[in-house]
Structure 1
Amino acid sequence: MDCGFVWPPVKRSIWISCVNRLPMPIHFRRLPTLMSSRRALVTLIVYFTRLTRKVLTMTTTTTKTRRKTTAASRVAAKSGKIETLTTQFRELRMPTFRDQFVAAATRAEAENLSHLDYLLELTTLECETRREGRIKRLMTRSSLPLGKSWQSFQFDRLPMNVRRQLETLRDGTFLNRRENILLFGKPGSGKSHALCALAEQLVLQGRSMLFTTCSLLVQQLLMAKRDLRLPKLIKQLSSFEGLIIDDLGYVQQSREEMEVLFTLLAERYERGSVLLTSNLAFSWKIKVSGLIS
């Protein structure tokens, strides 16, 4: 005899609530009142297997949706931070930080760099960019003639002792001591080219230099004296660490022209270096050397 058990009444339903995961209640259809225990057990196993699959599917879908929402929130938060940092770097006048911090952050994350390495890379880029910009501005202000560079200068035209002196002057320490350089020689001997090449090397080191011819400088000084602006012009010229005066004495100056020129040289005495080229006679060398040396 088959051992059976009595199933609940026909109109009675079994309600299952899966911890608020299923919005609608689930119930069994009508089952016969009398069913074998084995058949009932198989029916329950099949039912709960299907139910478990549905619950797992719903859980997976919910998890994916939450992940997408979280990822979108992170992207939005990251975009907001990037915009804020861009604005702050613009206010701080740090253009390299503003242009490179996103790419540097991505590279640091990919290469697993530390915070210090990331910051060091950005500050190095910022310093290099600012140094290049400063050298470019100094080169523009220097008014050095084009083509007269250190690489294009023919050193074999100079005596050995003069070559060594130029090499020694390249470090720019004479500017720190406010020492002057006087370069005398015949026209076409390379005096101007030598000083321009030296000035170019100094500018590349971040030193402020100014090149001018003697005749142009004298005219500027005379106009400033006439307009009562001579002290202001001399103060502007004093902002340069080195002042190159080319071709002193190439054209004979009047007494008034020599007075304003010597006024400038006297004001720069022990305040800034003067680099001077001339083809003057020996008697003029003594006078100029005694004034600015």
Structure 2
Amino acid sequence: MLTHPTLDQLHQLGLAGMARAFEELQANPQGGELAPAEWLGLLLDREIAERQDRRLKARLRFAKLRHQASVEDIDWRTARGLDRALFQKLAQGGWIEAKENLILEGPTGVGKSWLACALGQKACRDNHSVLYQRVPRLFADLALARGDGRHARLMRTLGAVKLLILDDWGLEPLGPEQQRDLLELAEDRYGRGATLITSQVPPDRWHDLITGNPTLADAILDRLVHNAHRIQLRGESLRRKRAPKAAEA
């Protein structure tokens, strides 16, 4: 069967979604019953849908979320003190648009990282740029970048995303270089982007993690905490609950 010249033109214009829809309509006996405007509408709908899907996949690849999580998959039966109304409101993303921060705090294993990734995935679906970083790995990467000339570029990337997720904050005190990096990052993002922080350490103890320079600690925490929404989780580790019993092993 000869290739329809319209197909060639659609491919030349980079309209692959419209081309696929055109082929499907041609092969469908009912396609001939549609009016030209209906054909055009179906072709445009397919092209828009495929472009949106490609952009979403690209945002998710860039985000590098640790978990494949979504807000629709949250188990609300789990007893961990998660306020459903508050979380669902946060999932709508108003705080991201307002360039505010969010702190998820609680003991290990209660699902902080998973919930953060669920909000990150929703932000990607809402057409926001997202980047996930574990704090220990982030500071290690920044230290390497400082040595090979990538530091400024990496800091620009961290500062530019609409939502930056900093997971596992507060596992150990920060050294002088880490403190300076965090201050620069907090300053770059303040009023320009939203930051989501997960931590086992309550914010009223974060000052102790930035040792040796109380003035710098005040500056960092002022930018991270003062406009932040907070979710306090509690309960037993979900990993421990899901682990098989020794007798069943």
Q: State TM-score, norm by structure 2.
A: 0.75
Query: Which entry has the higher C-alpha Rg, 1 or 2?
Result: 1
Match of 2:143 among 222, 226, 230: 222
Amino acid at match of 1:97: M
Displacement of 1:214:
0.2
Determine the C-alpha separation between the residues in 1 that align with 2:13 and 2:158.
31
2:213 corresponds to 1:291? no
Match of 2:79 among 139, 153, 157: 157
RMSD after superposition: 2.5
2:104 corresponds to 1:183? yes
Determine the C-alpha separation between the residues in 1 that align with 2:69 and 2:37.
43
Displacement of 1:89:
1.8
Match of 2:23 among 86, 99, 102: 102
Amino acid at match of 2:153: K
Displacement of 1:202:
2.2
2:115 corresponds to 1:194? yes
Determine the C-alpha separation between the residues in 2 that align with 1:109 and 1:277.
54
Amino acid at match of 2:223: L
Determine the C-alpha separation between the residues in 2 that align with 1:258 and 1:194.
27
Displacement of 1:219:
1.5
Indicate the larger mover: 138-147 or 115-124. Answer: 138-147
Determine the C-alpha separation between the residues in 2 that align with 1:112 and 1:245.
55
Unaligned runs of 5+ in 2: 208-216, 228-249
Match of 1:207 in 2: 128
Unaligned runs of 5+ in 1: 1-74
2:50 corresponds to 1:129? yes
- Answer 1 or 2: higher relative contact order, Cα 8 Å, separation at least 6: 2
Q: Deviations over 1:116-156 (max 9, x none)?
A: 11100000011111112222222222111235443554333
Q: Deviations over 1:216-240 (max 9, x none)?
A: 1112222222334322112222342
Give the 3-state SS of the residue equivalent to 1:271 in structure 2: coil
Match of 1:241 in 2: 162
Closer, same or farther: CA 105–267 of 1 in aligned 2, 3 Å: same
Amino acid at match of 1:245: L
Q: In the alignment, is the contact (CA less than 8 A) between 1:210 and 1:244 conserved in 2?
A: yes
State percent identity of aligned pairs: 24
Match of 2:213 in 1: none
Indicate the larger mover: 179-188 or 151-160. Answer: 151-160
Determine the C-alpha separation between the residues in 1 that align with 2:144 and 2:192.
24
Q: In the alignment, is the contact (CA less than 8 A) between 2:68 and 2:118 conserved in 1?
A: no
Determine the C-alpha separation between the residues in 2 that align with 1:188 and 1:124.
43
Amino acid at match of 2:105: F
Give the 3-state SS of the residue equivalent to 2:172 in structure 1: coil
Displacement of 1:100:
2.6
Q: In the alignment, is the contact (CA less than 8 A) between 1:143 and 1:210 conserved in 2?
A: yes
